[in-house]
Structure 1
Amino acid sequence: MIVDRQGRSFRNLRVSLTAACNYACTYCVPDGKRLVAAQDELSAAALVRGVQYLIEAAGIERLRITGGEPLVSPRLEEFLHGVAPLGLADISLTTNGQLLSRKLPLLLDTGIRRLNVSLDTLDPDAFRGIARGGDLRTVLDGLERARAAGLRIKVNMVPLRGRNVDQVLPLLDYCLDRGFELRFIELMRMGHLARDSAGFHAQFIGLDALLALIGEHYEYQQASAPVDATALRYEVPGRGYFGVIANESVPFCRTCSRLRLSSTGWLHGCLSSSNRHYVGDLLELPREQALPALQGLLQKALGDKQEVAFSGGATVMKIIGG
């Protein structure tokens, strides 16, 4: 296991199956164009080897499958079947839910029992304005089907001033009623928002404002969370839990254990660093040749992590996953 001077190591791996996405969310892409798959995306077999090698080289324990939108990837089925027997403590998947009903049998068959579903509003008009794609009713139907199948579900919402603040309480009610854990994600200085400070601040809503709004309608108390958790968790007694990923208000860089592998074979040790490390060629090598070289790159990737707080990054978030 590789450890830095703050005691951080890589334990959580996020693999982007594809950069392609059937949405074009306003906080992700500025021009309304849906992201498309790159010409040089790795095969499912190479990505599975990447996970296997990173388990050995870095001590990875947990895997989250991301995108773009992973459910649109033609590599999804082969990748899921490939990683299922690798002995990971947890395998989860993040999706916008548009194809969830259609892909649910595959997810269940390959052992996925935990989902994060991005949903920024329950209002159909606001949904179309933010996502610039998809259909709200289809997403809600997918959530109900996944819930009925027994999957544990977290719903991710990015509150945006002037766009969906009026949906904070309706979404919280919706999630508490169904046993979902709602996660409010503070807007991040990623991609075009890293360059547009005025646009970022015009939309940003922080932890204190969110808690004040929720506190007008609910009593809540802080709940426990793992040491390396990204979210501050809160309990509404007798109802359930919600969380806030407060990357701006309460940075969590000091305990970050996340590593990202892009669909094109780049390792990203930190969202707030422009550094990346190509491992696509190593994934074609035998284990005994790949692991020593991979450990050297992992040391560099761990050194890319911010010491204290997230400061933004030019990379488009959906290219390397959430």
Structure 2
Amino acid sequence: MIVDRQGRRFRNLRVSLTAACNYACTYCVPNGKRLVAAQDELSADALVRGVAYLIEAAGIERLRITGGEPLISPKFDDFLSQVARLDLDDISLTSNGQLLSRKLPVLLDNGLRRLNVSLDTLDAERFRGIARGGDLATVLRGLDEAAAAGMKIKVNMVPLHGHNHDQVLPLLDYCLERGFELRFIELMRMGHLARDANGFQQQFFGLDDLLALIAERHTYVQASAPLDATAQRYEIPGRGFFGVIANESVPFCRTCSRLRLSSTGWLHGCLSSSNRHYIGDLLDKPRHEAFPALQRLLVRALGDKQEVAFSGGATIMKIIGG
């Protein structure tokens, strides 16, 4: 097991099946162009081998399938059916929900019961303005169907000052009424926002702003969360829970256990580092050849983690998964 001097190790793996997305959200893709699949994306079989190797070499316990938008990937069904048979404590999915209704039988047949859906507004016109793609009613229908099938659902919202911060309370009430846990994600200084300090500050709507706004309507108390959790978690007694992934306001780097594998075979140990480590060429090698090299790369990836706080990064989040 690989552990750094702060006692951190990799427990949680996020695998980006594809960089392609059917949205072009303003906080992710500033030019409005949808991201497309890379020409050198790995096959489902290769990515599954990568997950299996990382379970053994790094002690990965939990897997989250991400993108881009994973449900548009032609290898999604095959990948899920294979990783569902691996020795993992938990498998979950992050999606924009646009294809959720269509893919729900596949998720259920393979035992996936936890789902995060990105949703930044309940206003259809605002939805089109932020996502620059998709249809709000389709997403909401998919959420209702997933909930009826017994899935545990979290909704992810990126509140942006001047764009959708007035949707904080409507979305929170929507989630409380349905038993969903809403996660507010502070805007991250990544991609174009790492280079545009003024644009970042103008849009940033952080933990203090969120809690002050929520307090206007609800009484809440802080709730417990796992040691390596990214979210500050709160309970509204008798109603439900919400969380804030406060990467700027309350950094969680000291306890981070996350590792990311891109669709093109690169390991990313930290969102705030431009370093990446290629394992695609190891995945066709026998275990006894691949493992020594993989373990060396994992040591480097763990060493990329920030000591205290996120400091921004040039990498586009959609390429390596949320």
- TM-score, with normalisation over the residues of structure 2? 1.00
The aligned residue for residue 142 of structure 1 is: 142
TM-fit CA distance, 1:289: 1.1
The aligned residue for residue 321 of structure 2 is: 321
Percent identity between matched residues is 82
TM-fit CA distance, 1:65: 0.1
The aligned residue for residue 67 of structure 1 is: 67
Q: 2: distance between equivalents of 1:287 and 1:108? A: 32
String of CA shifts for 1:251-294, please: whole Å, max 9, x gaps.
00000000000000000000000000000000111111111110
| Runs of 5+ unmatched residues, structure 2 | none
State the secondary structure of the residue aligned to 1:254. helix
Q: Does 1:11 align with 2:40?
A: no
Q: 2: distance between equivalents of 1:316 and 1:125? A: 26
The aligned residue for residue 43 of structure 1 is: 43
- Map 1:14-163 → 2, pairs under 5 A: 14-163=14-163
Question: For residue 208 of structure 1, what is the amino acid of its counterpart?
Answer: D
String of CA shifts for 1:21-49, please: whole Å, max 9, x gaps.
00000000110000000000000000000
Q: 1: distance between equivalents of 2:285 and 2:80? A: 22
State the secondary structure of the residue aligned to 1:281. helix
String of CA shifts for 1:68-106, please: whole Å, max 9, x gaps.
000000010110111011120000000000000000000
Q: Does 1:168 align with 2:132?
A: no
State the secondary structure of the residue aligned to 1:284. coil
Q: 1: distance between equivalents of 2:15 and 2:153? A: 19
Question: For residue 70 of structure 1, what is the amino acid of its counterpart?
Answer: P
String of CA shifts for 1:166-219, please: whole Å, max 9, x gaps.
100000000000000000000000100000111000000110010000001000
Q: 2: distance between equivalents of 1:24 and 1:128? A: 10
| Runs of 5+ unmatched residues, structure 1 | none
Q: 1: distance between equivalents of 2:94 and 2:110? A: 15
The aligned residue for residue 205 of structure 1 is: 205
State the secondary structure of the residue aligned to 2:153. strand
Q: 2: distance between equivalents of 1:169 and 1:205? A: 14
TM-fit CA distance, 1:111: 1.0
Q: 2: distance between equivalents of 1:99 and 1:309? A: 35
Question: For residue 320 of structure 1, what is the amino acid of its counterpart?
Answer: I
Q: 2: distance between equivalents of 1:87 and 1:295? A: 19
String of CA shifts for 1:144-183, please: whole Å, max 9, x gaps.
0000000000000000001101100000000000000000
Q: 2: distance between equivalents of 1:288 and 1:71? A: 34
TM-fit CA distance, 1:64: 0.1
> Number of residues paired by the alignment?
322
String of CA shifts for 1:281-322, please: whole Å, max 9, x gaps.
001111111111100000000000000000000000000000
State the secondary structure of the residue aligned to 1:27. coil
Q: 2: distance between equivalents of 1:232 and 1:120? A: 19
Q: 2: distance between equivalents of 1:291 and 1:60? A: 15
Question: For residue 185 of structure 2, what is the amino acid of its counterpart?
Answer: I
Q: 2: distance between equivalents of 1:242 and 1:262? A: 29
- Map 1:286-301 → 2, pairs under 5 A: 286-301=286-301
State the secondary structure of the residue aligned to 2:60. coil
Q: 2: distance between equivalents of 1:107 and 1:235? A: 29
- TM-score, with normalisation over the residues of structure 1? 1.00
Q: 1: distance between equivalents of 2:190 and 2:24? A: 15
The aligned residue for residue 267 of structure 1 is: 267
The aligned residue for residue 302 of structure 2 is: 302
Question: For residue 62 of structure 1, what is the amino acid of its counterpart?
Answer: R
Q: 2: distance between equivalents of 1:252 and 1:134? A: 32
String of CA shifts for 1:101-156, please: whole Å, max 9, x gaps.
00000011111100000000000111001000000000000000000000000000
Aligned-residue CA RMSD (Å): 0.4
Moved segments of 4+, more than 2 Å: none
- Map 1:172-183 → 2, pairs under 5 A: 172-183=172-183
State the secondary structure of the residue aligned to 1:210. helix
TM-fit CA distance, 1:60: 0.1
Deviates more, 1:263-272 or 1:281-290: 281-290
Q: 2: distance between equivalents of 1:174 and 1:216? A: 16
The aligned residue for residue 218 of structure 2 is: 218
TM-fit CA distance, 1:240: 0.3
